[in-house]
Structure 1
Amino acid sequence: MIKVRQLAHVCIFAHDLDATRSFYRDVLGLDTQFNFLRDGKIFGFYLNCGGRSHVEVFQKDGVRYSDLNQINHLCLEVENIDAAIAHIRSKGVDVTTKKHACDDTFQAWIRDPNDVKIELFEYTEKSAQFAGGDRIADW
């Protein structure tokens, strides 16, 4: 039997590595854990999301994206969603308003320079992820 500990990483393709690294570092505060090198040049990197979770990014020129071949979104837990929203707005990045979701979490949404959707998540004491219980979807 397999026991999954947690999500190890989500991999995304970037049109522009520098813009992508800057976004995740400056807007979301994720530091580079390490770079991938080929022929002496960086072509990808791992971003540290805390614990043992990461976002993996690779340069992918000329790739066409569609709703059928991309990750729907990645979700990052934040300590204070109001502070996160204020910080993101201060960086000139569009972010949705905070929403209290049906699973008793707070969430907001942004997009990275590659149009990858990112959900920002703040748990509450009543969050279904810890409290359990079915929830009726309100979307």
Structure 2
Amino acid sequence: MPDLSGVHHVKLPVADLDRSRDWYTSVLGLSVDIEFTEDGVVKGVALSDSGNTVALALRHDPARAKTLSGFDPLALAVPTRDAVQAWRRRLDELGQPHSGVVTGHRGGSVLVGLHDPDGIEIRLYAD
């Protein structure tokens, strides 16, 4: 069987592309790499972190975004448990609601309850 080498990117549907782009760049610190334009209108963006370890795409699709509200399809790796606490402090400083840090299944730290503008939960994990 041929090998897989990792996840290329994750694509999330969003109801308002500008609002979501602003949230992912200001809250998670991602940068826009590519804009996807159809008929002269930007319909999606590709985002990444400064180390190019996270590749995320946002696609304007309000109906699908609504169905994912409250679900947690994305868990981002954080290098250390202390870094999870640093994220908690950053989110608190930004006034971003979350449910705090809990112990994960492997004994690590997990920041839960962080929601993007469409209510999609983003978790931050360190084993």
Q: TM-score, normalised by structure 2?
A: 0.82
Taking a change above 3 Å as real, the CA distance of residues 94 and 62 of structure 1, as seen in their structure-2 partners, is: same
1:137 match: none
1:89 match: 92
Higher relative helix content: 2
Secondary structure of the residue that 1:20 maps to in structure 2?
helix
Give me the identity figure in percent: 22
Taking a change above 3 Å as real, the CA distance of residues 64 and 23 of structure 1, as seen in their structure-2 partners, is: closer
Secondary structure of the residue that 1:85 maps to in structure 2?
helix
Q: Give the root-mean-square deviation of aligned CA atoms.
A: 2.3
The size of the alignment, in residue pairs, is 122
**Quick check: 1:98–1:108 contact (8 Å CA) kept in 2?**
yes
Query: CA offset at residue 62 of structure 1?
Result: 4.7
**Quick check: 1:112–1:118 contact (8 Å CA) kept in 2?**
yes
> Which protein, 1 or 2, shows the higher relative CO under an 8 Å CA cutoff with sep ≥ 6?
2
Please say which structure displays the higher CA radius of gyration.
Answer: 1
| Deviation by residue 1:7-36 (Cα, 9 ceiling, x = unmatched) | 111111111111101111111111111110
Pairs within 5 Å for 1:15-26: 15-26=15-26
- The CA distance in 1 between the partners of 2:54 and 2:22, in whole Å, is 19
1:59 aligns with 2:63: no
Query: CA offset at residue 39 of structure 1?
Result: 2.2
Runs of 4+ aligned structure 1 residues displaced above 4 Å come to: none
